[in-house]
Amino acid sequence: MIDDGEGGTVTGKLQASGTGFTFGGGLQYHFTPKVALNTSLGWTVGEFSTIKFEDVSVDGLNMDATSTRFNLGISWFPMISRAR
């Protein structure tokens, strides 16, 4: 919902778009040949250049954006045979 400035609200779809670059890396540690722990860290920098709400679009913006992501998980490889 967006406040219309006159005490009312408007409901609709808000979109922000632009460009960015992500840098990062990860590690996979195998406890067994079939089970591994996954970790990764990513850092994204960029900017939003267009904002669109319903049919109204504003271009040429320079809104900086930064994001950091940390992922932790377990992978299972069921097709790896037990005999090696």
Q: Concatenated DSSP letters for 25-77?
A: EEEEEESSSSEEEEEEEEEEEEEEEEEEETTEEEEEEEEEEEEEEEEEEEEE-
DSSP code at position 78:
T
Q: What is the pLDDT along the chain (84 residues), one digit of tens a residue?
A: 777 788 888 888 889 999 999 999 999 999 998 999 999 999 999 999 999 988 888 998 889 999 999 999 999 999 877 555
Residue ranges of domains in the chain: 2-76
pLDDT score at 69: 97
> What's the confidence (pLDDT) of residue 55?
83
Report how far residue 71's alpha carbon sits from residue 65's, in angstroms, rounded to the nearest whole number. Answer: 20
